[in-house]
């Protein structure tokens, strides 16, 4: 069985690599590593070194499993495949929070898709949220037969670099978007108070479309903040994390929280809201969870003025070190194994799959 990957935001550069640095592009590259020689769904056919680009209409549906990252469109995708084969094979990959679909029609479409096609979610939280939506929007006889599995995305542990202390503490805005769900205004308000009490450098790295947002330009006007595009290479990204002292998360909801995990593995002290999504990625007793902006301010201030004591406090809540705990609980190998195992269980052996 071959694998094809469908992602609406796909872009390929002149060198034949998947371009872009948002979560979707990163996951497409990751799926290609799991399934070497995978087909990417595009508008024209072209053979590249690491993959083949192919229109959906040309995919051999009988011998190919399509991993669809545009889950809400799985029924139309199935219809296209059905034109040329008897039994289309389709897997949903839900890599974002189901709350992104706020309207009744979109929520119902998402639920129906997950009821009709096997689904792999990027975390246990996402899977739980999908099951709730299934019960809410889908006929019982469909919802009860839904096939669903999940595993935390995890991180590539080998990318982490040795920590580099900086003269002025660095606080990261731990998101690549200035969307309202990320609450950048709250981040700005808290950090505006912190910088009045101690020298701090705030780093904001965004996708290109959000660099000109009002909130990004407001950050850019501050002497204590730098706003820049995403770093183009993973090595540079991890090097920047290695010199990051702390980050302040202000998001209302996360399906997983990959960027936060990566920053903490690199040694940054994470100050996060006391919400279910944060508890899901952290050990019990994590000391830097806030319920009010004032609490967040105090925690960030402590993190940048006494980071060694904060890291010692984190080590004290787990067996071994906090970094070791993160590495054990957020290893990408667990996700990759789940992805391969589930697809092979549902459709049969996959050609060239790695585990």
Q: Token pair of 194, please?
A: 């912190």
**Residue 355 placed within a domain:** no
**Residue 255 placed within a domain:** yes
Q: Are residues 314 and 191 in the same domain?
A: yes
Q: Are residues 209 and 316 in the same domain?
A: yes
**Residue 308 placed within a domain:** yes
As a whole number of angstroms, the distance between CA 291 and CA 272 comes to 9
Instruction: Kindly give the confidence (pLDDT) of every residue in the chain, 355 residues in length, as a single tens digit, with 9 standing for 90 and above.
Output: 999 999 998 888 888 889 877 788 889 999 999 999 999 999 889 998 889 999 999 999 999 999 999 999 999 999 999 999 999 999 999 999 888 888 999 999 999 999 999 999 999 899 999 999 999 999 889 888 899 999 888 887 777 899 998 999 999 999 999 999 999 999 999 999 999 999 999 999 998 899 999 999 999 999 999 999 998 888 899 999 999 999 999 999 998 999 999 999 999 999 999 999 999 999 999 999 999 999 999 999 999 999 999 999 999 999 999 999 999 999 888 889 999 999 999 999 998 777 6
Closest CA to 31 of 348, 347, 349, 343: 343
**Residue 119 placed within a domain:** yes
Q: Are residues 228 and 129 in the same domain?
A: no
Residues 9/96, Cβ–Cβ less than 8 Å:
no
Q: Are residues 137 and 33 in the same domain?
A: yes
**Residue 354 placed within a domain:** no
**Residue 69 placed within a domain:** yes
Q: Is 40 helix (H, G, I), strand (E, B) or coil?
A: strand
Q: Are residues 123 and 238 in the same domain?
A: no
**Residue 292 placed within a domain:** yes
Domain that holds residue 17: 2-154+332-347
Residue 355: predicted pLDDT? 60
Q: Are residues 144 and 27 in the same domain?
A: yes
**Residue 124 placed within a domain:** yes
Q: Is 146 helix (H, G, I), strand (E, B) or coil?
A: coil
CATH of the domain at 73: 3.40.50
- Exposure pattern of 268-294 as b/e (b: 16+ CB <10 Å)? bbbbbbeeebbebbbeeebebbbeeee
Residues in the chain, overall count = 355
Q: Token pair of 317, please?
A: 């809540």
Q: Are residues 289 and 204 in the same domain?
A: yes
Q: Are residues 47 and 101 in the same domain?
A: yes
Q: Are residues 288 and 198 in the same domain?
A: yes
> How many domains is the chain partitioned into structurally?
2
Q: Are residues 315 and 337 in the same domain?
A: no
CATH of the domain at 280: 3.40.50.2000
Using left for φ > 0, alpha for ψ between -120 and 50, and beta otherwise, residue 313 falls in alpha
Q: Are residues 168 and 149 in the same domain?
A: no
């Amino acid at each position: 069985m071959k694998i094809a990957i469908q992602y609406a935001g796909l872009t390929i550069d002149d060198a034949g690599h998947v371009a872009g640095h948002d979560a979707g592009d990163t996951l497409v590259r990751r799926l290609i590593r799991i399934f070497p020689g995978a087909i990417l769904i595009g508008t024209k056919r072209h053979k590249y070194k690491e993959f083949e680009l192919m229109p959906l209409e040309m995919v051999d549906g009988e011998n190919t499993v399509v991993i669809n990252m545009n889950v809400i469109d799985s029924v139309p995708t199935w219809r296209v495949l059905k034109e040329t084969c008897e039994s289309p094979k389709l897997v949903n990959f839900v890599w974002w929070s189901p709350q992104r679909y706020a309207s009744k029609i979109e929520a119902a479409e998402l639920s129906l898709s997950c009821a009709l096609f096997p689904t792999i979610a990027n975390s246990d939280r996402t899977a739980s949220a999908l099951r709730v939506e299934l019960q809410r929007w889908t006929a019982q006889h469909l919802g009860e037969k839904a096939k669903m599995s999940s595993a935390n995305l995890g991180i590539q542990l080998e990318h982490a670099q040795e920590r580099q202390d900086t003269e002025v503490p660095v606080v990261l805005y731990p998101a690549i978007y200035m969307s309202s769900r990320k609450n950048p205004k709250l981040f700005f308000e808290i950090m505006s108070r912190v910088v009045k009490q101690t020298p701090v450098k705030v780093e904001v790295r965004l996708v290109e479309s959000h660099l000109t947002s009002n909130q990004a330009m407001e950050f850019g006007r501050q002497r204590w903040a730098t706003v820049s595009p995403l770093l183009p290479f993973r090595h540079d990204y991890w090097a920047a994390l290695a010199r990051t002292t702390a980050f302040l998360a202000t998001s209302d909801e996360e399906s997983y929280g990959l960027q936060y995990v990566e920053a903490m593995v690199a040694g940054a002290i994470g100050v996060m809201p006391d919400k279910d999504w944060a508890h899901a990625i952290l050990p019990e007793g994590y000391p830097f969870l806030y319920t009010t902006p004032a609490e967040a301010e105090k925690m960030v201030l402590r993190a940048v003025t006494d980071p060694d004591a904060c890291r010692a406090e984190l080590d004290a809540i787990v067996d071994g070190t906090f970094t070791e705990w993160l590495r054990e609980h957020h290893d990408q190998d667990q996700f990759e194994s789940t992805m391969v195992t589930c697809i092979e269980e549902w459709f049969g052996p996959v050609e060239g799959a790695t585990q």
